Structure 1
Amino acid sequence: MRRAQAAVEYLMMMALALVVALFTIRIVQRTAIDASTQVTRTSEEIIKTMNEMMEG
């Protein structure tokens, strides 16, 4: 009976670790996407500003 309880506890810890890992991966992924979007926007603004300076 004690072995079964230990096995269940081990599985619960593994499940919790998996949930934490997935949550962390999702946050990192979302942060990377947001950063990429911001870099793209900033690059476009720089290009636009430079083009305006060269034309005018």
Structure 2
Amino acid sequence: MPTKHIDDETWRKVEKEAVKATITTKKSVKEGEMLKYLILKGLSEISEDDYQDIVRGKR
């Protein structure tokens, strides 16, 4: 599996989402599972305008 560095601030957000998902569902949600879900969700939502924001440094 490829690995890439995720900065600490972003990783803490992933951890928080995993905790919220665990509390909401009352079932354990691992950080890795949450990260995969967030990436796939983001990929389905990203637009060409978002690409422009990325290169402009807005995100």
Normalising to structure 1: TM-score of the pair? 0.36
Q: Greater helix share, 1 or 2?
A: 1
Larger radius of gyration: 1
